[in-house]
């Protein structure tokens, strides 16, 4: 045997550059700040939160612009449907009943959309999922720690911005009520670091989707047992936060995501066009049956969820918004997502628990008020095109070299499930068309247009 082998000596695998590791950490911070925007609002106040958002946007541009200058940018792969909606929102300033609110909230819309495109461009699909996982871990873990601190150390409810208050204000005013340990599963609702049970519940649903996909990937790739156990514990923590938040909207969104998951998994198992046709027909029949069951048993379903037929006051809000929207049904009254409570047009218009309402609590009704039928069609195109791409991204096998195909990845299901969860949430909330919801829609749409490999 020769002492001089032909093969090269073994070398350690190449490590990621420190700059790219920093970029991934920054992206996780951006996602955390977008998803938990109300944490910064309650911590820093409105002005402080706006300063932070502005600083993060400038930071992203400082990273992104030099990269584009060096390697270019595929402009044709921008999320054009979402940009079209943003353009319509900008143009609505010409006829807006609240031009100041239109200008202010349009800047926020563009800021969150920019972050979505930025992250989609600078990170690979797996890196995006890891950054999203990290951000959601900060939210879930931070909520548990924050709730425990308020309950055990502070020992009294906490107001936003640590504002002192005399007497006993409406519980809806609190940032955190400190009732984490009042019950382990079903009891008074908790708010987490985001200060809102409905928002915490929805973020827990998204966390369940991401954590479950990452856990399944760990099992498939046979990662060490300690990593599988760690991911399982995070999944359990997200489920606990969902149950303790007690958000009926989030339960429905989670159920919708589960139904779509079953359909996607059934489609993945088919190998012929006729098989896919049968799955589509079965899904259509089940969907129609489900809608019929909900329509016929609506009262019992909302009672089971612990709500009344008016969906906790949403029915009255929808009636007032629709009455105003019918005055200008084609182009609407002007963009403002969210509603600006100090603008005279919104201040005191709809009040709930002594607080001016920020939204219509239905994304379609909200868009109809702001941008009329034209806006509703634009949003339908945005979500329709996003779901279309996400569906085939989830059910089609990824391509390898030549004509070969690769195994399905659990990560490929994430955009589809999150988008359907947002659509379900949009029936009772307006989050999917603003702030963090809009950021996720733009992020997934941008990345799916690049046909990423999970």
pLDDT tens digits, one per residue of 221-256: 999 999 999 999 999 999 999 999 989 999 999 999
Q: Residues of the chain with pLDDT > 90: what percent?
A: 69
pLDDT tens digits, one per residue of 78-106: 999 999 999 999 999 999 999 999 999 99
DSSP string, 202-240: HHHHHHHHHHHHHHHHHHHTT--HHHHHHHHHHHHHHHH
Q: Residues of the chain with pLDDT > 70: what percent?
A: 92
Mean pLDDT of 287-294: 86
Query: Between these two residues, 98 and 308, which has the higher pLDDT value?
Result: 98
Mean pLDDT of 135-148: 97
Residue 5 reports pLDDT greater than 60: no
**Which pLDDT belongs to residue 273?**
87
Q: Which residues contact 366 (CB under 8 A, 6 or more apart)?
A: 321, 337, 359, 360, 430, 433
Residue 401 reports pLDDT greater than 70: no
Torsion on CA atoms 232, 233, 239, 243, rounded to nearest 10: 150
> Bridge-partner residues for 399, per DSSP?
405
pLDDT tens digits, one per residue of 128-141: 999 999 999 999 99
Residue 32 reports pLDDT greater than 70: yes
pLDDT tens digits, one per residue of 213-222: 999 999 999 9
**Which pLDDT belongs to residue 102?**
97
Confidence of residue 454 (pLDDT cuts 50, 70, 90): low
**Which pLDDT belongs to residue 291?**
86
pLDDT tens digits, one per residue of 269-282: 888 888 889 989 99
Count of other CB atoms within 10 angstroms of residue 411: 21
Q: Which residues contact 317 (CB under 8 A, 6 or more apart)?
A: 350, 352, 357, 360, 361
Q: What is the mean pLDDT of the chain?
A: 90
**Which pLDDT belongs to residue 6?**
47
Confidence of residue 7 (pLDDT cuts 50, 70, 90): very low
Report d(CA 255, CA 206) in Å as an integer: 12
- Spatial contact of 168 and 215, defined as CB atoms under 8 Å apart: no
Please give the helix or strand (H or E) that residue 313 lies within, else none: none
pLDDT tens digits, one per residue of 354-364: 888 999 999 99
Report d(CA 311, CA 255) in Å as an integer: 18
Residue 8 reports pLDDT greater than 60: no
Residue whose C-alpha is closest to residue 199's, from 241, 141, 231, 158 = 241
- Spatial contact of 190 and 147, defined as CB atoms under 8 Å apart: yes
**Which pLDDT belongs to residue 4?**
45
Please give the helix or strand (H or E) that residue 344 lies within, else none: none
Residue 10 reports pLDDT greater than 70: no
Torsion on CA atoms 247, 253, 255, 260, rounded to nearest 10: -170
pLDDT tens digits, one per residue of 310-329: 566 788 999 999 999 999 99
Mean pLDDT of 163-186: 80
Report d(CA 289, CA 376) in Å as an integer: 26
Q: What is the DSSP letter of 405?
A: B
**Which pLDDT belongs to residue 250?**
95
Cis geometry, peptide bond prior to residue 284 (ω within 30 degrees of 0): no
Residue 15 reports pLDDT greater than 90: no
Confidence of residue 428 (pLDDT cuts 50, 70, 90): very high
């Amino acid at each position: 045997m020769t002492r001089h082998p032909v093969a090269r000596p073994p070398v350690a695998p190449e490590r990621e550059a420190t700059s790219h590791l920093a970029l991934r950490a920054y992206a996780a911070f951006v996602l955390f700040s977008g998803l938990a925007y109300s944490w910064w609002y309650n911590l820093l106040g409105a002005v402080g939160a706006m300063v932070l958002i502005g600083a993060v946007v400038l930071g992203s541009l400082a990273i992104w612009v030099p990269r584009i200058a060096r390697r270019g940018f595929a402009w044709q792969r921008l999320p054009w449907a979402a940009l079209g909606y943003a353009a319509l929102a900008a143009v609505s300033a010409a006829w807006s009943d609240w031009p100041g609110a239109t200008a202010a909230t349009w800047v926020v819309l563009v800021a969150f959309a920019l972050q979505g495109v930025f992250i989609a461009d600078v990170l690979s699909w797996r890196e995006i999922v890891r950054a999203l996982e990290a951000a959601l871990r900060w939210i879930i873990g931070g909520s548990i720690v924050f709730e425990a601190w308020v309950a055990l150390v502070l020992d009294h409810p906490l107001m936003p911005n640590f504002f002192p208050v005399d007497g006993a204000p409406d519980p809806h005013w609190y940032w955190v009520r400190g009732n984490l340990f009042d019950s382990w599963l079903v009891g008074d609702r908790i708010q987490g670091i985001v200060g809102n049970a409905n928002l915490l519940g929805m973020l827990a649903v998204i966390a369940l989707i991401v954590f479950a996909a990452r856990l399944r990937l760990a099992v498939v790739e046979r990662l060490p047992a300690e990593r599988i156990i760690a991911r399982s514990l995070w999944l359990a923590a997200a489920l606990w936060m969902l149950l303790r938040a007690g958000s009926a909207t989030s339960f429905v969104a989670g159920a919708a995501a589960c139904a779509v998951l079953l359909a996607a998994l059934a489609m993945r198992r088919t190998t012929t066009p006729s098989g896919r046709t049968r799955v589509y027909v079965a899904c259509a029949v089940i969907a129609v049956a489900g809608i019929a069951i909900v329509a016929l048993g609506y009262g019992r379903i909302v009672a089971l969820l612990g709500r009344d037929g008016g969906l906790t006051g949403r029915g009255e809000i929808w009636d007032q918004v629709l009455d105003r929207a019918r005055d200008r049904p084609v182009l609407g009254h002007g963009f403002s997502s969210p509603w600006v409570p100090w603008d005279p047009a919104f201040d005191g218009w709809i009040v709930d628990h002594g607080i001016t309402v920020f939204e219509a609590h239905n994304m379609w009704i909200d868009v109809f008020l702001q941008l009329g039928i034209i806006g509703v069609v634009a949003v339908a195109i945005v979500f329709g095109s996003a779901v279309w791409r996400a569906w085939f991204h989830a059910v089609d096998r990824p391509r390898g070299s030549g004509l070969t195909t690769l195994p399905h990845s659990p990560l490929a299901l994430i955009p589809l499930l999150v988008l359907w969860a947002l659509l379900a949430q949009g029936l009772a909330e307006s989050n999917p068309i603003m702030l963090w919801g809009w950021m996720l829609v733009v992020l997934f749409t941008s990345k799916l247009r690049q046909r990423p490999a999970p």
